[in-house]
């Protein structure tokens, strides 16, 4: 399953968003242009702006502010990617060298800041305090989630609950903001707005769960990043947490050491432990549960082609291999 049928449904909106992004990224500073275009134009699924567009259209929106907010959401996401790659010392994203690998950490951090500030300039054009509050709160929550993840790094005692707190903040919050924005633009009833928030939140959790499973169960070519990156950074994601809980004493010790020290020297052994304990299946099952809960939230919205696309998007999230 791929995103093409979903993208085709909102193709004109996506083209308009791409044009807007290109226009608003334009700067007199060459480095800003080069670095921004490198990561914005480097591919990616664009799920977050797609969520803004689909949510607005599903609820009957006929204006143009959904285009602006889709661009805003993509700017915020891109800024976090720039900062994440510096923090994680990543050198590969979407099959290409990361911006920090090419231009250095200083440039990546500063251009990430530039994109954050540009996103807030752009969102003011919608002229809605509620929209600004949603996006400001989302940005703050994402930052908190990144700090929580940093605290959990190299901590072999991280629990599943702590892990879920991290991914709910750092990933799911922008998903839920994206779907909430569609409801706000349509001035939907509070019950519908709440349903869209929950749909986005649980879809985002499912998305991150699959991401973390693929880090041990995918291929570098499909993912566009190196397998075992999470292990190299000492990140205790759900596959590791579950495998440590279910493994033998010697397996638990090996995982604990890997989390404490980071690195991928024992990646193959760790993958074997993850496979033998059923950790990948458990992570996929948790993702499926989150996606199913997300889909239940859509019962209160109109059934149309955009509704169908939101359903298909949830199916894509849990079935994807990249």
Query: What mean pLDDT is predicted for residues 286-315?
Result: 97
**For all residues of the chain together, what is the average pLDDT?**
90
Q: Which one-letter DSSP state was computed for residue 265?
A: T
Say whether pLDDT at 7 is over 70: yes
Report residue 143 as tokens.
């930052």
Query: Who wins on pLDDT, 233 or 31?
Result: 233
Q: Which regions of 18-137 does DSSP assign to beta strands (E)?
A: 92-93, 96-97
Q: Which residue has the tokens 């199913």?
A: 292
Secondary structure (H, E, C), 138-170: HHHHHHHHHHHHHHHCCCCCCCHHHHHHHHHHH
Query: What mean pLDDT is predicted for residues 7-28?
Result: 90
* CB-based contact 321:218 (threshold 8 Å): yes
* CB-based contact 76:21 (threshold 8 Å): no
Q: End-to-end alpha-carbon separation of the chain, Å? A: 11
Report residue 301 as tokens.
């919205």
* CB-based contact 200:184 (threshold 8 Å): no
- 289 to each of 104, 257, 283, 294, how far by Cα in Å? 40, 31, 10, 9
Q: Which residue has the tokens 């901590």?
A: 155
Q: 96: helix, coil or strand?
A: strand
pLDDT tens digits, residue range 161-180?
999 999 999 999 999 999 99
pLDDT tens digits, residue range 292-302?
999 999 998 99
pLDDT tens digits, residue range 181-191?
999 999 999 99
pLDDT tens digits, residue range 33-80?
777 777 677 667 899 999 999 999 999 999 999 999 999 999 999 889
- Predicted pLDDT at 39: 66
- Predicted pLDDT at 44: 73
Report residue 178 as tokens.
């994206």
74-83, 217-226, 255-264 — which is least confidently predicted?
217-226
- Predicted pLDDT at 221: 43
Question: Cα 233–42–309 angle (5° rounding)?
Answer: 95
- Predicted pLDDT at 92: 63
Domains defined for the chain, CATH in brackets: 4-319 (1.10.600.10)
């Amino acid at each position: 399953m791929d995103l093409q049928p979903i993208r085709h449904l909102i193709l004109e909106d996506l083209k308009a968003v791409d044009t807007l992004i290109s226009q608003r990224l334009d700067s007199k500073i060459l480095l800003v242009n080069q670095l921004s275009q490198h990561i914005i134009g480097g591919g990616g699924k664009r799920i977050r702006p797609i969520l803004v567009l689909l949510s607005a259209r599903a609820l009957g929106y006929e204006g143009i502010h959904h285009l602006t907010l889709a661009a805003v959401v993509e700017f915020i996401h891109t800024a976090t990617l720039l900062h994440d790659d510096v923090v994680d010392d990543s050198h590969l994203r979407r099959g290409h060298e990361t911006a920090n690998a090419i231009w250095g950490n200083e440039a990546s951090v500063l251009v990430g800041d530039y994109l954050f500030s540009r996103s807030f300039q752009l969102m003011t054009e919608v002229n809605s305090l509620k929209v600004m509050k949603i996006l400001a709160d989302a940005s703050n929550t994402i930052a908190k989630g990144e700090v929580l993840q940093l605290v959990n790094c190299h901590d072999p005692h991280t629990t599943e609950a702590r892990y879920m707190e991290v991914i709910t903040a750092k990933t799911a919050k922008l998903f839920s903001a994206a779907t909430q924005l569609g409801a706000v633009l349509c001035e939907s009833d509070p019950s519908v707005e709440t349903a869209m928030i929950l749909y986005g939140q649980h879809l985002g959790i499912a998305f991150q769960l699959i991401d973390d499973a693929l880090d041990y169960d995918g291929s570098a070519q499909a993912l566009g990043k190196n397998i075992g990156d999470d292990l190299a950074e000492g990140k205790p994601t759900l596959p590791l947490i579950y495998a440590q809980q279910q493994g033998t004493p010697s397996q638990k010790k090996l995982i604990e050491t890997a989390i404490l020290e980071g690195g991928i020297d024992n990646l193959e052994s760790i993958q074997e432990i993850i496979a033998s304990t059923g950790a990948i299946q458990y992570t996929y099952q948790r993702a499926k549960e989150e996606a199913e809960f997300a889909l239940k939230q859509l019962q209160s919205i109109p059934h149309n082609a955009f509704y169908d696309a939101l359903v298909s998007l949830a199916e894509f999230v849990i079935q994807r291999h990249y």
